[in-house]
A and B are shown apart, each in its own frame.
Chain A
Amino acid sequence: MKRTISGLSAAAMLLLGTSLGAQADTIKVGVVAPFSGPFALYGKQFQEAIQVYQAEHGTTAGEHEIEFIYKDSGGPNPDQARSLTQELLIKDRVDYLAGYVFTPNAMAVAPLLDQSETPLVIFNAATSAINAQSDYYLRTSYTLWQVSMPMAEWAYDQGIRSVVTAVSDYGPGIDAENAFVAAFQEAGGEIKDSIRMPMSTTDFTPFIQSIRDQAPDALFTFLPGGPPTFGFTKTYNENGLRDEGIMFLGTAETEESNLQAFGDAAIGLTTAYHYSADHDSDLNRAFIAKNTEMHPDSVTNWATIGAYDGTHLIYEMVEAAGTDGPAAIEAAKGLEWESPRGPLVMDPETRTVVQNVYIREVERDEESGLLVNREKGVIATVGDLGWGK
């Protein structure tokens, strides 16, 4: 770890240090997330989750008042994420950072974290390698390996022996493909083909036809949320793959905010993921009831829960260590708590939460008439399986 601090930045640190000593009663948390543009929903979900947590637990942790400051990073834009983070650290003098939806945005601030010794809680970005860039990263979302490997193992246990993978051709898609292929072959299954679909694809028929021609037991996919996922699942349905018995396996594809738009085409899609709004627990029902009460238009999804648990983690760190970054990280390591998604442990090594991964199937809820991810199975206490890969 490079820890050379020039004279000027040492002065800045001094400035930071004194200010912190002076106003230890209020601890600020900078939240960097998209609040505008096509990904603005993330920022909105984060903000709502934080508000729910504060409504439930108050705005103080230990002796400290906690204040959140929001900054709009737009889409994947490391230049902006880094300069906003710098501004938060220098101007707003935050002691904790949170949010970060996109991997490059999170990666770009690693040197800043080391220099300022500021803990950063990732609410979303799911590439394992981020946490290796600095000791100050913590993650309350998930990693792609964490959910893709259990999917493969479960599929093999269900008697699925051959799979074609079809992922969007970019970092996260390839991560998901590698994880699934590794686990499925390890279990003894056959990968018939691995298709990588260009990001700009709007018509998925050619890929779906190729999969159909190879007649595997199932297909495994990973796509960015929104239009690509919509197009892929529609095409899967329209071309009769389901009728031919080719099962759909995925991860984040059926997340709740866009699920209703898929219509009946989504029914029967099987995914492995760490959170379903349909999770059967009193804690989860109370959490959703509170969120719906405070934000009637809001749809609770994995971004909401990532931010909610992240906020809990920050409260715990503040209570244990106040403004002392390294001590806060130590306090976070090994922390256990019960979340609406199930039991969580902050893994001391990977600094990503160890959690249950649920196998879900999309169904239409009889009571509400809405599409939900119904849990069909659970793989307990899964850590970040992609660490070091």
Chain B
Amino acid sequence: MSLFLNILIDGVAYGMILFMISVGLSVTMGLMRVINLAHGGFAMVGGVVAHVLMSEAGIGYVPAALLGIVATVALAWPLERLIYRRIYGFGDLQQVLATIGLTFLMIATVNRLQGSSLLALPLPTVLAQSVDLGFRTLPLHRVIVIGVGAVVIVGLWLLIERTRFGIKLRAAVDNRATAGAIGINTGLIYTATFCLGAGLAALGGILGAEMLPIEAYYPLRYMVLFLVVVAVGGMGSIGRSFLAALGLGLIETASRYLVPEFGTIFYFACIILFLALRPKGLWGRLA
């Protein structure tokens, strides 16, 4: 029984972190149909800025995290205007190549400025505690991640389904030409959505840094991890991405409790089984 509870609690906590760091990718890849392999790069940029602010300017965790997200958005804005705008029109392979190229440049820049060792984001003592669940403890940090994750998913749902921005976004995504013809500034909508995706990436990078520590090669190291969530969840649906992240978190955690020796094989075998049985529910544009 306690094993079952352990799997449930750790699985949900881990799944929430997976969701937080890949939801930005669901936004750019799902809504805007761009294969953005540079997603991890934006997560890293947020983390690096927060690290520098904390270690060199002595700013506290929360303001540093917020400034990190702002800085990432500030970088994403011109990148979208200058580079991504042209990438939207590319074929899939060219999108892969272009965003990989951007990823390389981000890695090289961080490597040049900060070196290749780990860049810590030390939690304030208030957050570095544990919550007592009776039969075990759970780090407070994970509770916060779960809370923020819930806020993000509700916020995104409200934004897309309940605001004028959401209506315009859905119109622009469905048919850009028509949306433009009826007076929607599709360029601005795309820029804003892209920046949203980048900001979410930065948020995820910073919140997830306790588990996936920030360093120069972060975007390449975790590329597969992010892609799995989006592939299993399918494109264009924040809700399904969320379910996929939870499911994957539970599967991985269960495999580590039950069959630690064969965890990796079990995890990927599950993914193959799932994708082989349910390929239809997923986005099929790349073919």
Given the complex, which residues of B lie within 8 Å of A206, measured CB to CB? Answer: 6-7, 10, 253, 256-257, 260
- A interface residues (Cβ-Cβ under 8 A, vs B): 37-41, 169, 195-203, 205-207, 209-210, 212, 226-227, 230-231, 234, 238-240, 257-258, 260-263, 297
Contact A239 B215 (CB under 8 A): no
Q: A169-B261, A231-B212 are in contact. List 15 more A-B contacts (CB 8 A).
A: A38-B116, A40-B116, A41-B115, A197-B256, A197-B263, A198-B256, A202-B225, A226-B118, A227-B212, A230-B213, A231-B213, A238-B128, A238-B130, A240-B130, A257-B117
Which residues of B line the A interface, CB within 8 A?
6-7, 10, 13-14, 17, 111, 115-120, 122, 128, 130, 136-137, 139, 141, 210-213, 215-217, 221-222, 225, 252-253, 256-257, 260-261, 263-264
Question: In the complex, which residue of chain A has the Cβ closest to the Cβ of B136?
Answer: A209
Complex: chain A residue closest to B254, CB-CB: A206
Q: Which residues of A contact B118 (CB under 8 A)?
A: 226-227, 230, 258, 261
- Are A205 and B130 in contact (CB-based, < 8 A)? no
Question: Which residues of chain A have C-beta atoms less than 8 A from B216's C-beta?
Answer: 38
Known contacts A230-B118, A231-B211, A238-B130; is-contact A37 B141 (Cβ 8 Å): no
How long is the Cα–Cα vector from A38 to B128 in the complex, in angstroms? Answer: 28
Residue contacts A-B, CB under 8 angstroms, 8 given = A198-B256, A202-B212, A203-B17, A209-B10, A212-B136, A231-B212, A238-B128, A261-B118
Contact status A207-B256, CB under 8 Å? yes
Nearest opposing residue in chain B for A196, CB measure: B261
| Contact between chains at A262 and B261 (CB < 8 Å) | no
Give which listed residue, A203, A226, A230, A239, contacts B130 with CB less than 8 A. Answer: A239
Chain A, residue nearest B253 (CB):
A206
User: Known contacts A231-B213, A240-B130, A263-B122: does B253 contact A203 (CB below 8 Å)?
Assistant: yes
Contacts A196-B261, A206-B257, A210-B257: A37 and B217 contacting too (C-beta < 8 A)? yes
Which are the 9 A-B pairs with shortest beta-carbon distances?
A206-B256, A261-B120, A238-B139, A261-B118, A198-B264, A38-B217, A198-B263, A203-B14, A205-B10
**CA distance in complex: A91, B261 (Å):** 46
On chain A, the residues within 8 Å of B128 by CB distance are 238
**Nearest A residue (CB) for B125:** A264
A residues less than 8 Å from B260 (CB atoms): 195-198, 206-207, 210
Q: In the complex, how many angstroms separate the beta carbon of A258 from the nearest chain B beta carbon?
A: 5
Q: How many A-B residue pairs have CB under 8 A?
A: 97
Residues of A within 8 A of B261 (CB): 169, 196
How long is the Cα–Cα vector from A90 to B201 in the complex, in angstroms? Answer: 49
Q: A261–B213 contact, CB under 8 A?
A: yes
Could you tell me if B116 and A239 are in contact, using CB atoms closer than 8 angstroms? no
Give the CA-CA distance A240 to B120 in the complex, in Å. Answer: 21
Residue ID in chain B nearest A199 by CB atoms: B264
For the complex, give the distance between the alpha carbons of A40 and B116 in Å.
7
Q: How far is the CA of A297 from the CA of B263 in the complex (A)?
A: 39
Pairwise interchain contact B264-A227, C-beta atoms closer than 8 A: no
Using Cβ atoms and an 8 Å threshold, which residues of chain B touch A203? 10, 14, 17, 211, 252-253, 256
* C-alpha gap A39/B216 in the complex (Å): 11
Query: Which residues of chain B are within 8 angstroms of A199 by Cβ–Cβ distance?
Result: 264
Cβ–Cβ contact A205 & B14, under 8 A: yes
B2 → chain A closest CB, angstroms: 8
**Contact with A239, one of B139, B210, B253, B257 (Cβ below 8 angstroms):** B139
Measured in the bound complex, the distance between the Cα atoms of B13 and A209 in whole Å is: 14
Which of the listed residues B115, B216, B263 has the most CB atoms from chain A within 10 Å of its own CB?
Answer: B263
Taking CB atoms, residues of chain A closer than 8 Å to B116 are 38-41
Q: How far is the CA of A37 from the CA of B261 in the complex (A)?
A: 29
- Cα separation A286 to B7 with both chains bound (whole Å): 52
Name the residue on B nearest A213 (C-beta). Answer: B2
Q: Which residues of A contact B17 (CB under 8 A)?
A: 203
| Cα A169 to Cα B259 with chains together (Å) | 13
Chain A residues positioned under 8 Å from B210 (CB to CB): 234
How far is the CB of A372 from the nearest CB of chain B, in Å? 16
Q: Nearest residue in A to B137 (C-beta to C-beta)?
A: A240
Alpha-carbon separation in the docked complex, A261 to B130 (Å): 20
A230 to B119, CA, bound (A): 11
Within the complex, what minimum Cβ distance (angstroms) separates B137 from chain A? 5
How many whole Å from B111's CB to the nearest CB in chain A? 7
Contacts of B263 in A (CB 8 A): 197-198, 201
Whether B264 and A200, one on each chain, are in contact in the complex, defined by CB atoms closer than 8 angstroms, is yes
User: B141 touching A262 by the CB < 8 A rule?
Assistant: no
B256 and A263 contact, CB distance less than 8 A: no
What residues of B have a CB within 8 angstroms of the CB of A198 in the complex?
Answer: 256, 260, 263-264
Question: Measured between alpha carbons, how far is A52 from B211 in the docked complex, in Å?
Answer: 36
Provide the bound-state CA to CA distance between A296 and B90, in Å: 46
Q: In the complex, which residues of chain B have a beta carbon less than 8 angstroms from the beta carbon of A257?
A: 117
Q: Residue on A with the closest CB to B129?
A: A238
> With a CB–CB cut-off of 8 A, which chain A residues contact B225?
202
Per the bound structure, the CA–CA distance linking A164 and B17 in Å amounts to 28
Which of A37, A206, A226, A262 has the most CB atoms of chain B within a 10 A radius of its CB? A206
Q: Is the CB of A202 within 8 A of B141?
A: no
Among A38, A169, A197: residue with most chain B CB under 10 A: A38
Chain B: minimal CB distance from A30 (Å): 23
A166 to chain B minimum Cβ distance, whole angstroms, is 9
CA distance A300 to B212 in the complex (A): 25
Q: Using Cβ atoms and an 8 Å threshold, which residues of chain B touch A197?
A: 256, 260, 263
Task: Give A212 to B137 CA distance when docked, in angstroms.
Answer: 11
A41 interface neighbour in B117, B120, B264, Cβ under 8 Å: B117
